[in-house]
Chains A and B, each alone.
Chain A
Amino acid sequence: MTTTLEPARPRALNPARTTATATRVLRQLTHDPRTIALLLLIPCVMLLLLRYVFDGSPRTFDNIGASLLGIFPLITMFLVTSIATLRERTSGTLERLLAMPLGKADLIAGYALAFGTLAIIQSALATGLALWLLGLDVTGSPWLLLLVALLDALLGTALGLFVSAFAASEFQAVQFMPAVIFPQLLLCGLFTPRDDMHPALEAISDVLPMSYAVDGMNEVLHHTDMTATFLRDALIVAGCALLVLALGAATLRRRTA
């Protein structure tokens, strides 16, 4: 032992360890059916509620409903991931895993894979309900809605993982939800178009990833084809997710004080 620094080794993803981790995370969830039920049902119930809140103005339901299809997976995956990784840190299993030959990328990709799978099911249910039962009027392809929803879920997973490094307890982790998500919710254009905001706020909303998630959903809402704007939005959300995942990986330390 000569130095506290470890050589930085570029390390490729190990598919077997990644899928083992994803399987483990999903197995943990199967022992907790109530969480699964809540995850899958709450977005559907909210959409149902929204539909009849705007009973008299279906245009408003179209706008808000489409945006929400992108926002739900972000919020739920944020919450689930931040608590799950916080538990992993506090229970000592993270320390044990990092003392084993598990790459940080394997762990993160495992979580992303497990929660991504869950997000696909959640989004498919919510999108199906909104389009075919609640009459959400979308011009573009429902597959594009699903794609944005999946990217949003990844972004939520990434943010949750990153934030869990700064939470010492589950109380703090839950408080990070309003701190990280609510400002984005207010500024993403859900309540009022972003160009109507104070210029300073509009500038801030330009750098928040949720704005592009909502923009992307609106593109699908109004256009039949995949537009250049949609592509840009999707790439920005994906890029943000990858960036935050990398930041999250940096918070996983093999050596701690």
Chain B
Amino acid sequence: MMNNAPDPPRPATQGPSAAIHAQDLTVVRGPRTVLRDLAFTVPRGRITGLLGPSGCGKSTLLRAIVGTQAKVTGTLDVLGHPAGHPALRTRIGYVTQAPSVYDDLTVRQNLDYFAAILDPGRPAADRRHDHVIRAIADVDLTTHADALAGNLSGGQRSRVSLAVALLGTPELLVLDEPTVGLDPVLRRDLWALFHDIAASRGATLLVSSHVMDEAERCHRLLLMREGELLADDTPDALRTRTGAETVEEAFLHLVDEATAQARSKETSR
């Protein structure tokens, strides 16, 4: 424990119903504080969008949740365990921004390998086979299953990377900009897949994006700017609160508000 005082009992709403719970979450990279005192809760079984401009710390936050980010302080609980706990490694699917697959293996060979890491052993071979087939179908790459990943287009490779994260039916999917560089049809199909995964498999999705129109497709939103949270709300509530037509306008409104506040603080000093 970083804080030596015992934890206060948590309200029931943040107990098992919350997939992710963060309090005083701070991440330092080199001389920079990339995330500053974040506090938020991600509900289970829903799609939460993490939105903000490039470089605002979205990827760092996702890496902290997955447990690959160093120098994380504060409280960060994921599926009832501290982030990075070994028990979480089979329960979280993670897709990095750049597709992380082996270019010199075929789509199927990539998935076969990662499936064998998640669910090893000969007795599990049939189950693995089914998972691989389903994951390839989920991302609509069945016709390319035997193509080398390195020979696929950028969008196809990022879908292979997504398919790896879908293996083994994870309870939490952490997706870092999964729709960047995809054409509108594919983006629509992927969002349909995300909603299907949340609805039919009961999984929690945390999806980052810097494209604000994707915000409308999420159940909840975390808006970030320069390492701080501007809002943690539903898209509707955000629009109503700021009197804006779109989430993009709401975001800009919040940014202006934050800047004005910072300025008035400085002048009053």
Please list the residues of chain A having a beta carbon within 8 angstroms of any beta carbon in chain B: 1-4, 6, 9, 14, 16-17, 20-21, 23-24, 27-28, 31-32, 91-93, 95-102, 253-257
B171 → chain A, closest Cβ, in Å?
Answer: 14
Q: Is the CB–CB distance between A4 and B71 below 8 Å?
A: yes
- A6-B84, A28-B104 known; A16-B148 Cβ under 8 A: no
Indicate which residue in B66, B73, B96 contacts A92 across the interface (CB closer than 8 Å). Answer: B96
Contact yes or no, B64 A1, CB < 8 A = yes
A17, B124: Cα distance in complex, Å: 12
A184 to B60, CA, bound (A): 42
Assess whether B25 is interfacial by the CB under 8 Å rule. Answer: yes
CB of B68 within 8 A of CB of A254, answer yes
Which chain A positions have C-beta within 8 A of B83?
Answer: 1
- Are A101's CB and B84's CB within 8 A? no
B94 to chain A, nearest CB (A): 5
Closest to A29 in B: B104
Q: Which residues of A contact B89 (CB under 8 A)?
A: 99-101
- Say which one of B44-52, B74-82, B204-212 lies at the interface with A: B74-82
Complex Cα gap A3–B75 (Å): 9
Are A96 and B105 in touch, CB under 8 angstroms? no
Q: Which residues of B contact A98 (CB under 8 A)?
A: 68
Interface pair A254/B73, CB less than 8 Å apart: no
Chain B interface residue count, CB cutoff 8 Å, equals 48
Contacts of B118 in A (CB 8 A): 100-101
Say yes or no for B8: interface residue by CB 8 A criterion. no
What residues of A have a CB within 8 angstroms of the CB of B114 in the complex? 96, 100
Q: Is the CB of A1 within 8 A of B117?
A: no
Q: How far is the CA of A198 from the CA of B256 in the complex (A)?
A: 73
Contact flag A1-B84 (CB < 8 Å), given A95-B68, A99-B89, A100-B90? yes
Closest Cβ–Cβ distance, residue A84 to chain B (whole Å): 10
Do residues B98 and A256 form an inter-chain contact, with CB atoms below 8 A? no
- B72 close to A (CB within 8 Å): yes
A99 touches B66 (CB 8 A): yes
The list of the 10 closest CB pairs from A to B, nearest first, reads: A92-B100, A1-B76, A16-B120, A20-B116, A255-B70, A101-B89, A24-B113, A1-B83, A2-B1, A1-B82
* Contact flag A95-B105 (CB < 8 Å), given A3-B2, A256-B68, A257-B70: no
Whether a CB of chain A sits under 8 angstroms from the CB of B202 is no
Residue of A nearest to B75 (CB): A1
Partner of B82, one of A2, A21, A32, A256: A2
> Residue A3 contacts which of B1, B92, B104, B121 (CB distance < 8 angstroms)?
B1
Bound Cα distance A92, B63 (Å): 12
- A100 contacts across to B, CB distance below 8 A: 89-90, 114, 117-118
